């Protein structure tokens, strides 16, 4: 392994001053995670989880920490709106909380939504358990960076039995700045027993830039809680966005996730779900559509740890030009998780001879009376379907677009917010090559 200090990315992150909170356990955690990162450096290709995502180009780039101008940078509020999303809103620009762009007035009873910086200042103890973790694995370098450097993020809590009707909106905006920035956000989300919430998470850009951002989130669903989480990723075409989301479902909790990965130059999302309570259910529906020279990497790991749990995952990938997509879907049914029902499907289309998609389904079963299935395909559009459409007078380009759009929209069919579903469908169509 190269000496970490010789890599410009590592050097710039190590040289950046750590945030000082004055909270002993938090500052110690930041120091410890940076020490682990310095010792291990960036993951190489021999680390299995990073086998298909090389970091050589990113490692050669230095980044500047922080962006004081983000607190006043002009942003058009109308650019943040999404159809069908009209609840409370929390906005961050280049990692800095923007109260003027957020909508936090008159929050419903039982809902807490605030930036992490404010939550730590008011009462840090409730966050100690989730924020004091050390990360030691070889594939966790960016989580270590985030743990060391994240100054802010979203803290969202829904009290026991409270059901929030209007969709909540988390916005993470990248904006042009002096130099290439590195900014980091840490989100903590908890739904109490029997609580219900619809959450929309939006990553977008207000202009071209080549920032590096890391976003780490922990989502905890207590017994009987219900979460519907939609993630739309539209980072700038030159940006690098590394995310890691941890999801824990207690007994009879139910989470449904819809994810659309559309933007960015180098994008990676590591989604890890643990079904730790009897009867917990998880549904994930995702689509990734890299084009140009984009690289989009999705790592999905689902672990069944309790009786009669269920997970269903449907993912679609479409790559064009010289883009590359990566999808790893791993399901583990742990000892004692009898009665689990797990399924995973990943189908992919290549729209050019230079595009590439690497898919790797994994299934491990250590329990009895389990139903499990997984599969993955990589191919091209069906020639018979193309012939059928062309025989009806539809031009070739339009026929290809129709079939590709239908292939992608499969993952959105059960999205209950009709306005948002139609908006996402139109974005998928816009992403297709001309």
* pLDDT tier, 121 (very low <50, low <70, confident <90, very high otherwise): very high
Residue range 204-224: average pLDDT? 97
**306: pLDDT strictly greater than 50:** yes
Classify burial at 307, counting beta carbons within 10 Å of its beta carbon; exposed 0-12, middle 13-18, buried 19 or more. Answer: middle
Please state, as a whole number, how many other Cβ atoms lie within 10 Å of the Cβ of residue 57.
12
List pLDDT tens digits, range 318-343.
999 999 999 999 999 999 999 999 99
At residue 154, the pLDDT reads: 98
Q: What is the pLDDT of residues 355-405, one digit of tens each?
A: 999 999 999 999 999 999 888 888 777 677 766 667 777 777 777 777 788
Which band of pLDDT confidence, cut at 50, 70 and 90, is reported for residue 92? very high
**Structure confidence by residue, pLDDT tens digits, 417-426:** 999 999 999 9
Q: What tokens appear for 98 in the block?
A: 């923007």
Mean of pLDDT over the chain = 93
The residue ranking higher by pLDDT, 13 or 261, is 261
What residues contact residue 65 under an 8 Å CB cut-off, 6+ apart?
A: 12, 13, 16, 17, 149, 181, 182, 183
pLDDT tier at 6 (50, 70, 90 boundaries)?
A: low
pLDDT value at residue 82? 97
Please indicate whether residue 400 or residue 276 has the higher confidence score (pLDDT): 276
Residue 62, pLDDT score:
93
d(CA 21, CA 149): 11
Mean pLDDT of 182-210: 97
Rounded Cα–Cα distance for residues 427 and 430 (Å): 5
DSSP sequence for 231-247:
EEE---TT-EEEEEEEE
- Coil vs helix vs strand at 325: strand
Please tell me the distance from the alpha carbon of residue 268 to that of residue 296, in angstroms, as a whole number.
Answer: 6
Token pair of 29 as six digits: 């955690």
| Mean pLDDT to the nearest integer, 342-363 | 94
Could you please report the per-residue DSSP string of 334-384? -TT-TT-EEEEEEEEEE-STT-EEEEEEEEEE-SSS-EEEEEEEEE---HH
Tell me if 406 sits within 8 A of 397, measured CB to CB. no
- The DSSP code sequence of 124-167 is -GGGHHHHS----STT-HHHHHHHHH--B-EEEEE-TT-B--SP
pLDDT at 225: 98
The b-or-e profile of 170-185 (16+ CB within 10 A means b, else e) is: bbbbbbbbeebbbbbb
pLDDT at 68 over 90: no
């Amino acid at each position: 392994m190269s000496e970490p200090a010789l890599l410009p990315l590592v050097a710039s992150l190590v040289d950046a001053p750590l945030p000082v909170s004055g909270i002993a356990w938090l500052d110690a955690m930041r120091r410890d995670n940076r020490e682990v990162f310095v010792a291990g450096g960036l993951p190489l290709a021999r680390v299995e989880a990073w086998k298909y995502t090389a970091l050589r180009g990113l490692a050669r780039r230095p980044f500047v920490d922080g962006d004081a101008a983000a607190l006043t940078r002009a942003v058009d509020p109308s650019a943040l709106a999404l159809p069908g999303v009209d609840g409370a809103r929390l906005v961050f620009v280049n990692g800095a909380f923007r109260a003027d762009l957020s909508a936090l007035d008159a929050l419903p009873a039982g809902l807490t939504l605030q930036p992490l910086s404010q939550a730590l200042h008011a009462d840090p103890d409730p966050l100690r358990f989730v924020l004091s973790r050390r990360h030691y694995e070889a594939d966790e370098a960016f989580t270590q960076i985030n743990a060391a450097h994240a100054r802010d993020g979203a803290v969202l809590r829904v009290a026991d039995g409270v059901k929030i009707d209007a969709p909540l909106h988390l916005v993470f905006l990248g904006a042009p700045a002096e130099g290439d920035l590195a900014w980091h956000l840490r989100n903590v989300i908890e739904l109490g027993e029997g609580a219900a919430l619809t959450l929309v998470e939006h990553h977008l850009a207000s202009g071209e830039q080549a920032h590096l951002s890391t976003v780490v989130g922990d989502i905890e669903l207590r017994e009987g809680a219900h979460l519907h989480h939609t993630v739309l990723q539209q980072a700038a075409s030159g940006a690098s966005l590394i995310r890691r989301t941890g999801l824990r479902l207690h007994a009879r909790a139910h989470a449904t996730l819809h994810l659309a990965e559309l933007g960015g130059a180098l994008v990676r999302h590591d989604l890890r779900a643990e079904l730790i309570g009897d009867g917990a259910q998880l549904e994930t529906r995702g689509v990734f559509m890299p084009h140009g020279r984009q690289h989009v990497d999705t790592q999905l790991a689902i672990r069944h740890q309790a009786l009669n749990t269920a997970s269903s995952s449907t993912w679609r990938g479409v790559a064009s030009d010289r883009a590359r997509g990566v999808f790893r879907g791993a399901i583990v049914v742990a000892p004692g998780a009898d009665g689990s029902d797990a399924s995973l499907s990943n189908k992919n289309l290549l729209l050019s001879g230079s595009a590439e998609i690497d898919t790797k389904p994994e299934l491990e079963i250590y329990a009895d009376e389990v139903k499990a299935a997984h599969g993955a395909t990589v191919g091209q559009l069906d020639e018979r379907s193309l012939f059928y459409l062309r025989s009806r007078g539809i031009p070739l380009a339009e026929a290809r677009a129709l079939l590709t759009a239908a292939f992608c929209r499969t993952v959105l069919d059960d999205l209950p917010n009709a306005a948002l579903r139609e908006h996402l469908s139109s974005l998928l169509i816009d992403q297709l090559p001309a």
